[in-house]
Amino acid sequence: MFRNSITSTTKLRLTLGVFLFVFISASLFAQEFTATVNRNRVAMGEQFELTFILNGAGSGKNFRPPAFNDFLTLSGPNQSTNWQFINGQQSVSISYGYVLQPRAEGKFTIPSATIEASGKTLQTKPITIVVTKGAQQQQRQSNRGGQQQNDADVSQQIGDNLFLRVSVDKSKCYQGEQITATYKIYTRVNIANYQLNKVPALTGFWSEDLEVPKQIQLTNETVNGKQYRVGVLKKVALFAQRSGTLTLDPMEVECVVQVQSRRRSNDIFDQFFNDPFFGNVRNVNYKVVSDPVKITVQELPQENLPIGFPGAVGKFSMEAWLDKKQTKTNEAVTLKIKISGRGNIKLLDEPAIVIPPDLEKYDPKISDNITKQGNLISGSRTFEYLLIPRHAGEQKIASFLFSYFDVDKKTYVTINSPEFVLSVGKGTELASAPVSGISKEDVKLLGEDIRFIKSGGVNLQRRGERLFGSPLFYALSFSPIILFVGFVMFMRKRDKMLGDVLAVRNRKARKMAQQRLSVAKKHLSAQKREEFYNEVARALWGYVSDKLGIPPSDLTIDTVRSSLEQRGVPVESISKLASTFEQCEYARFAPSSDSSQMDSMYNEAVSLISTIEDHVR
């Protein structure tokens, strides 16, 4: 009987174990697409997190989120993927997270999202969100105590695994010598997005940004025994402009970090499903700041300092030539001096050259050609002088010097130019047209100091002797009265028009929008994504405010939508306008935006303004 009892107990345990295994396997490998929120009831001004999760062995594609018409998208989609192997089979969990904020009070429904997986189209169930009035300040403070403690723990956890560091290739240099500073981010957590909040001032340095990949390329690096994923955010070449101890100011970056929301429970099922593969992911804003870096800058040696030293530091060569060796008086000649090499090219001064008194010299035209090869700044600076000979004969331009400090040799190097001989023949008294692009206040005409008295026969005609009684007399007599009456009528009409402020704003709405869009077009050409979206948003908000006569304090998407509907603007255009506002608001959270999206945004803004202009007068 005891043996039968053991057998029954063993069978029962085996049955429960098989049932648990089948239940767990079905949960792991079934294709399931769900939508979750961290809370269904929020107050105005508060944020909540919405996550779409695809669980199963396969992978998904063509994810289509719903339209968040009643909510403002602050962040997202923030995608993350988790893998897990159980009994030789792979389980994949893909999540798409959003941070939303309600636009108005009421009860709203977030529609279904869809995704394609295993040849099927899966969709989530709609989610209902109840938006209430904002809570009182005291209630928020009392309810915030536990959350603050939790946030402090999360911040401490992130702080141990995320930091920003600036490294320099040398901490001691000569004045004018190049230093390369690299700003890197080190992380052991998942970063969904980042934004550069504060660019270092670099006081005391002339700087030139070096190229870094637009998409951060992560490498592995070990710091204090821990392995981090490392990405380069910024790289810059620095040239100290004064000696002493200079400081590289800190860089500040705002990161959106994904952390797991975990619960404590004694329930075995809660402990199992509290695994990171099943936990809820939420986004945390975390600010990282680099430490300041001290640079010791030495003065250049005063021993053997060349006369007229232009401050060049690096390694250079010099070329000099005349565009022609024979000319005539009052005809322009060009002297070009090209200094090439690597170093502080943009800080070079013009060489000291001595020009004969019979040659008139104009201020040089300076042009730079800067190249960035790896971490080095190189290129050339060209000085172009306009010379105009005043007297015939042989004119000599003496050899001149160019000196620079060679950092590698730690000594000064001097280069001599050749001597130039210009043969000047007798030319015309009047100067020929000056060389284009070079001017001394648009090079004045020569030979016109004294104008000659006109010679030859002069034809003089006698005008009428009497002005009184002529038509011209009456025209001149009554014209002041007519002009005065016209001026009074014009001022009255102008004051009446300016008195109607709304009418003035309405008339100038399109012109102001076009001016702002022209600025946005420049940012688009320069691929300045954040400045472009900000200017498009300013253009559209300013246009609807002026055109519809809505004060800026009352300007919301709902008031704009209502006003446009009353004026008969098509619903499709109103929806496109609201969508454009949303895209501009969270464009800074989408660093992958390309130029085609920016072109489409610009064209959409121009089209919307034209459509509204056709319906609103």
Highest mean pLDDT among 63-77, 101-115, 428-442: 101-115
pLDDT score recorded for residue 140: 46
Least confident range from 228-232, 292-296, 524-528: namely: 524-528
Q: Which residue is it, tokens 């920003």?
A: 164
Prediction pTM value: 0.44
Q: Which residue has the higher pLDDT, 459 or 420?
A: 420
Interval 545-552 mean pLDDT: 80
Preceding omega of 77 cis (within 30 degrees of 0): yes
Least confident range from 180-184, 365-369, 435-439: namely: 435-439
Interval 92-109 mean pLDDT: 86
Give the separation between CA 274 and CA 286, rounded to whole angstroms: 24
Per-residue pLDDT band at 512 (split at 50, 70, 90): confident
Per-residue pLDDT band at 17 (split at 50, 70, 90): low
Per-residue pLDDT band at 457 (split at 50, 70, 90): low
Taking only the tens place, the pLDDT of each residue in 396-437 is 888 888 889 998 888 999 998 899 998 998 877 554 444 444
Interval 319-339 mean pLDDT: 90
Q: CATH number of the domain at 501-615, out of 3.30.1370, 1.20.120, 3.90.320, 2.60.40? A: 1.20.120
**Is residue 501 predicted with pLDDT exceeding 60?**
no
Reported as type and span, the H/E element at residue 2 is: helix 2-29
Interval 281-304 mean pLDDT: 86
Give the separation between CA 19 and CA 14, rounded to whole angstroms: 8
Interval 437-448 mean pLDDT: 45
pLDDT score recorded for residue 593: 52
Q: Which residue is it, tokens 């995608």?
A: 79
Reported as type and span, the H/E element at residue 449 is: none
pLDDT score recorded for residue 382: 92
Give the separation between CA 352 and CA 397, rounded to whole angstroms: 12
pLDDT score recorded for residue 135: 52
Asked if 377 contacts 340 with a C-beta cutoff of 8 angstroms, the reply is no
Taking only the tens place, the pLDDT of each residue in 115-155 is 888 788 888 999 999 998 865 434 444 445 545 545 556 76
pLDDT score recorded for residue 569: 84
**Is residue 446 predicted with pLDDT exceeding 50?**
no
pLDDT score recorded for residue 546: 82
List C-alpha distances in Å: 103 to 69, 392, 498: 9, 82, 36
Runs of H (alpha helix) within 549-594: 557-566, 571-585
Least confident range from 265-269, 333-337, 597-601: namely: 265-269
pLDDT score recorded for residue 491: 83
**Is residue 542 predicted with pLDDT exceeding 80?**
yes
- CATH architecture classification, 308-425: Sandwich (2.60)
Q: Which CATH class is domain 157-297?
A: mainly beta
pLDDT score recorded for residue 12: 55
Which structure tokens are listed for 249? 């100011």
List C-alpha distances in Å: 570 to 276, 555, 562, 614: 48, 20, 12, 11
Q: Which residue has the higher pLDDT, 578 or 80?
A: 578
Query: Across all residues in the chain, what is the average pLDDT?
Result: 77
What's the fold here for domain 32-139? Immunoglobulin-like (2.60.40)
Taking only the tens place, the pLDDT of each residue in 387-397 is 988 888 888 88
List C-alpha distances in Å: 181 to 163, 200, 295, 346: 17, 11, 11, 19
pLDDT score recorded for residue 588: 55
pLDDT score recorded for residue 84: 53
Burial of 173 (0-12, 13-18, 19+ CB in 10 A): buried
Q: Which residue has the higher pLDDT, 405 or 374?
A: 405
pLDDT score recorded for residue 384: 92
Least confident range from 12-26, 339-353, 393-407: namely: 12-26
pLDDT score recorded for residue 544: 83
pLDDT score recorded for residue 30: 56
**Is residue 18 predicted with pLDDT exceeding 60?**
no
**Residue 341 is which amino acid?**
G
